[in-house]
């Protein structure tokens, strides 16, 4: 059986979530930096490939396809970093929702005199 929730328990849980949010914010900043790095690396590799093939008499579509193939590792790194960034962002959103729920519980506990 569950015991009644008291205000100090709610506050402790909020503090733990605040600590988790700080950690996730740092992770999000790192993930965003990593994504930007890989995105720039991909765009540079792609552009270099297009420029290198500009003297060839190939179609634009063929040049672009070759550029995509030559830049595939950078593209892969970019997309993995992007997924990591989005996952971290979702973790932050989940923590925020939990904190909002705890604030509601806290208000209810105060209203009940606990």
Whole-model pTM: value is: 0.78
Q: Spell out the per-residue pLDDT of the chain, length 114, in tens.
A: 477 778 889 999 999 999 999 999 999 999 999 999 999 999 999 999 988 887 778 888 988 899 999 999 999 999 999 999 999 999 999 999 999 999 999 998 888 875
- Residue 114 is predicted with a pLDDT of 59
2 to 5, 6, 68, 78, 100: CA distances (angstroms): 9, 12, 58, 47, 22
Per-residue confidence (pLDDT) for residue 112, from 0 to 100: 82
Domain spans in the chain, listed from the N-terminal domain onward: 7-111
Q: What is the pLDDT of residue 2?
A: 74
């Amino acid at each position: 059986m569950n015991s009644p929730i008291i205000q100090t328990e709610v506050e402790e849980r909020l503090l733990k979530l605040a600590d988790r949010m700080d950690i996730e914010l740092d992770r999000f900043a790192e993930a965003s930096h990593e994504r930007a790095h890989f995105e720039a690396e991909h765009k540079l590799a792609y552009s270099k490939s297009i420029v290198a093939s500009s003297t060839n008499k190939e179609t634009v579509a063929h040049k672009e396809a070759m550029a995509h193939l030559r830049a595939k590792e950078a593209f892969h790194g970019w997309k993995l970093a992007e997924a990591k960034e989005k996952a971290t962002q979702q973790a932050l959103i989940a923590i925020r929702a939990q904190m909002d729920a705890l604030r509601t519980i806290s208000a209810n506990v105060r209203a009940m005199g606990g």
